[in-house]
Amino acid sequence: MMSDELKEKESHDEASEAARMFRAIAQMGEVGILVLDEQNRIEFANRMFSQITRYEHEKLLRQDFTNFLEEKNRELFLSLKKECYACTTKLRRVIEIKTATSKPAFTEMCFASYSMFSGEKKTIVYLRDISVQQKLTEELRESEKKYRNLFERIDQGISISTREGKFIDCNPAFLKIMDYESKDEFLKIDITKDLYVNPEDRKEFQKLIERDGHVKNYEVEFKKKSGEKIPMLLTSQAIKNEKGEVVGYQGLNIDISERIRMEQELREKHGFLTNLLESSVDCIMVADMRGKVLFFNKAAERLTGYRTEEVIGNIHVTKFYSTEAAKDIMRKLRSDDFGGRGKLENFMLTIYGENGEEIPVALSASIVYEGEKELASLGIFTDLREKMKIERKLQDTQVRLLQSEKMASLGSLAAGVAHEINNPLGGILIYASLLMEDFEVSKDPRVEDLKRIVDEATRCKEIVKSLLEFGRQTESRFEPMDINKAINDGLFFLENQVLFHDIRIIKCLDSSLPFVGGDSNQIKQVFMNMMVNAAEAMSESGGSLTIVTGVDPDGTTIFVSFQDSGMGILPEVQSKIFDPFFTTKAVGKGTGLGLSTSYGIIQSHHGNIDVESEPDKGTAFTIYLPISIEEIE
């Protein structure tokens, strides 16, 4: 009897010792441990479970564990508990439990059951807090969902492929680009053979990506399902295994057909615009807002003499016009008073060519804007040299027309006056000569007075003769004539005269000069008049007379130039030299009818006389005559 009691006491002590040991071990772990009775009441809870649930340890004991579970998890727990009783094996599940805070805890639960000696069943629950892992898992799952959504919805082709040339995956956009409806069909193709137009491009792609680990903006041509070629832009990254070996590639496949089409259109438009600007007869320059030239067309090259390649990006606009002019142009462009803000029209300007030539131009300019920002300035420079030359010619023509009308009127007047004066002069000369003969015989001292009367009357008769020649209305006799011969004939009569002794005569006569239609006597008279005038201009100190003949560049006229090295003609006098009775010679040494008579003769031959002169630098008279008789008539 005592022996049985002793054995029972020893057994009880051992059980108590085992229980204490279990509790000590349970408190040491990093997992929550519960012992539940058959009614799911908590008989034991370690400190870790208290930490997981945020409840004080004392308040947990005898609590119904299912109160820590949501309804759906409660049913799951009861089902797992029943299953655990039936199979007596451990079961593991992830179950969310309530905590003292509003934030639930995700736990990984492991269930086990055992039976007491009394037959009562106990449930041991191990709980590992996986809230952090669960959060990361959820975030990862959400991230994968977003990236999958992006993968599926992005309008650029995305693909994953092996090194061997098989696709592992691709998005719908890539299928659409390549004209495949079935993804399975597309994943079966051989990338090198079926996708690349040029297989060598695939080899180069692999060489680059395996060397650098990535490829960016690699242009290739792919083949669609139909065989149609399509330009693509690849940006890919190598996929590596744990050993760092490249096992595949993933990246973007962008269809650049539209970009290439737009680039082609842009090139064509740019080419058209460039051709348009290059075809302009006016100089066009574009400069940035600092004044550096960005565009310089062919007309600008012709106008200035500079080459485009030496101007663009190297030359400032002040190379072509002064800094003050540049500032004035920008000031007016930015004002509203000169054609509106950003515009300037018909601004008169002088620019400088490469050789230093001053070139008059009309500038039309504008500022190129991007919003309110000034990007550049554009200038169109119209060369005014030809226009000004034409205007001068027109002005000269008008002057000559007035001169011709004046000469015609004066000619008629001179002829009438000459006839009226000639008869009385003839009588004066006859009677003065008779008296002078009588006075010479009788040695009358008044004979000197009579000689003076005869000399002055003779001079008046010469003037009358000139007036008659000036106003003569008889038709000229036109026939083919040799201009060079007319010059030489005139020189034959003049070069031995005293007036020409200190004059060096230089002849540059064109031996192939064509004949002109004209009155040779009248033309010879004009040439001799020109030579005499030149000699008289050099009578004090001598000089040179250069006579040049040739065909004018227009091919329809010949020219004869008489260039002396004399005193020249003052600018204010040049417009009067063809007026009748105007002379620059001393009183009594000229009638003032030589040039006006010459002018009238040349006009009657449908020609023209130009004069160029500078004081102390000499004078050049240039006579122009038409070549063909038909043009004269």
Residue 473: what pLDDT?
45
Strand 503-508, strand 543-551: pairing: parallel
Q: Determine the Cα–Cα distance for residues 157 and 142; give it in Å rounded to an integer.
A: 23
Q: What is the pLDDT of residues 449-498, one digit of tens each?
A: 778 787 777 777 766 766 666 555 445 677 888 999 989 988 887 877 88
Do the domain assignments include residue 7?
A: no
H or E element at residue 258:
helix 257-279
Q: For residue 131, give its domain range.
A: 19-136
Residue 277: what pLDDT?
81
Which CATH number covers residue 166?
3.30.450.20
- Verify that 394 and 376 share a domain, yes or no: no
- Verify that 427 and 501 share a domain, yes or no: no
Burial class (CB within 10 angstroms; exposed 0-12, middle 13-18, buried 19+) of 445? exposed
Q: What is the pLDDT of residues 288-299, one digit of tens each?
A: 999 999 999 999
- Torsion, CA 338, CA 343, CA 345, CA 351, rounded to 10: 110
- Verify that 284 and 344 share a domain, yes or no: yes
Which of 6-10, 110-114, 140-144 reaches the highest mean pLDDT? 110-114
* Predicted confidence (pLDDT) at residue 245 exceeds the cutoff of 50: yes
- Out of 358, 383, 408, pick the residue that ends a domain: 383
Q: What is the pLDDT of residues 415-446, one digit of tens each?
A: 666 666 777 877 788 877 888 777 776 677 77
- Verify that 376 and 403 share a domain, yes or no: no
Contact between 508 and 548 under an 8 Å Cβ cutoff? The reply is yes
Burial class (CB within 10 angstroms; exposed 0-12, middle 13-18, buried 19+) of 435? middle
- The DSSP secondary structure of 284-325, one letter per residue, reads EEEEETTSBEEEE-HHHHHHH---HHHHTTT-BGGGTS-HHH
Q: What is the pLDDT of residues 511-552, one digit of tens each?
A: 899 999 888 888 888 898 888 888 888 877 888 999 999 998
Do the domain assignments include residue 141?
A: no
Long-range interactions of 171-180: CB distance < 8 A, separation 24+: 174/253, 177/224, 177/230, 177/253, 177/255, 178/222, 178/224, 178/225, 178/230, 179/224, 179/225, 179/226, 179/228, 180/225
Give all strands of the β-sheet with 373-383 in edge-to-edge order: 293-296, 283-288, 373-383, 358-370, 343-352
Mean pLDDT of 356-372: 91
Q: What is the pLDDT of residues 553-608, one digit of tens each?
A: 888 899 999 999 988 887 777 666 776 655 655 544 555 566 777 888 888 888 88
Which CATH number covers residue 542?
3.30.565.10
Sign of CA dihedral 580, 584, 585, 586: positive
**Better pLDDT: 49 or 408:** 49
Contacts of 282 by beta carbon, 8 Å cutoff, 6+ apart: 299, 380, 381, 382, 383
Percent above pLDDT 70 for the chain: 84
Q: How confident is the model at residue 211 (pLDDT cuts 50, 70, 90)?
A: very high
Q: What is the pLDDT of residues 21-53, one digit of tens each?
A: 766 766 766 788 888 988 999 988 888 888 888
Residue 632: what pLDDT?
41
Do the domain assignments include residue 6?
A: no
Which CATH number covers residue 405?
1.10.287.130
Q: Determine the Cα–Cα distance for residues 153 and 240; give it in Å rounded to an integer.
A: 26
- Verify that 598 and 495 share a domain, yes or no: yes
Q: How far is CA 482 from CA 71, 478, 511, 563, 622, in A?
A: 132, 12, 10, 21, 17
- Out of 470, 499, 516, pick the residue that ends a domain: 470
What beta strand segments (E) does 48-134 contain?
Answer: 91-97, 105-115, 121-129
- Verify that 535 and 606 share a domain, yes or no: yes
- Verify that 624 and 514 share a domain, yes or no: yes
Question: The tokens of 77 are what?
Answer: 């727990």
Do the domain assignments include residue 142?
A: no
Q: Determine the Cα–Cα distance for residues 177 and 258; give it in Å rounded to an integer.
A: 12
Percent above pLDDT 90 for the chain: 31
- Verify that 227 and 303 share a domain, yes or no: no
Question: Nearest-CA neighbor of 421 among 390, 463, 393?
Answer: 463
- Verify that 449 and 364 share a domain, yes or no: no
What beta strand segments (E) does 184-279 contain?
Answer: 214-223, 229-240, 246-255
Q: How confident is the model at residue 137 (pLDDT cuts 50, 70, 90)?
A: confident
Q: Estimate the share of the chain in helix, then strand, then coil, as percent rounded to the nearest 5.
A: 45, 25, 25
Do the domain assignments include residue 295?
A: yes
Q: Determine the Cα–Cα distance for residues 236 and 608; give it in Å rounded to an integer.
A: 83
How much is the mean pLDDT over the chain?
Answer: 83
Do the domain assignments include residue 242?
A: yes
368 forms bridges with which residues in the sheet?
376
Q: What angle do CA 484, 486, 491 make, to 5 degrees?
A: 95
- Provide the domain count of the chain: 5
- Verify that 427 and 465 share a domain, yes or no: yes
Q: Determine the Cα–Cα distance for residues 441 and 450; give it in Å rounded to an integer.
A: 13
- Verify that 249 and 280 share a domain, yes or no: no
- Out of 383, 408, 425, pick the residue that ends a domain: 383
Count Cβ atoms below 10 Å from residue 255 Cβ, excluding itself: 20
Do the domain assignments include residue 14?
A: no
Contacts of 369 by beta carbon, 8 Å cutoff, 6+ apart: 342, 375
- Verify that 495 and 628 share a domain, yes or no: yes
Contact between 558 and 602 under an 8 Å Cβ cutoff? The reply is no
| Residue located via tokens 């008769």 | 461
Q: What is the pLDDT of residues 48-106, one digit of tens each?
A: 888 888 888 888 889 999 889 888 888 888 888 887 776 656 677 888 888 888 788 88
**Better pLDDT: 137 or 300:** 300
Q: Which ranges of 518-611 does DSSP label H, i.e. alpha helix? A: 520-537, 571-574, 594-604
Mean pLDDT of 94-122: 83
Q: Which ranges of 442-499 does DSSP label H, i.e. alpha helix? A: 447-470, 483-494
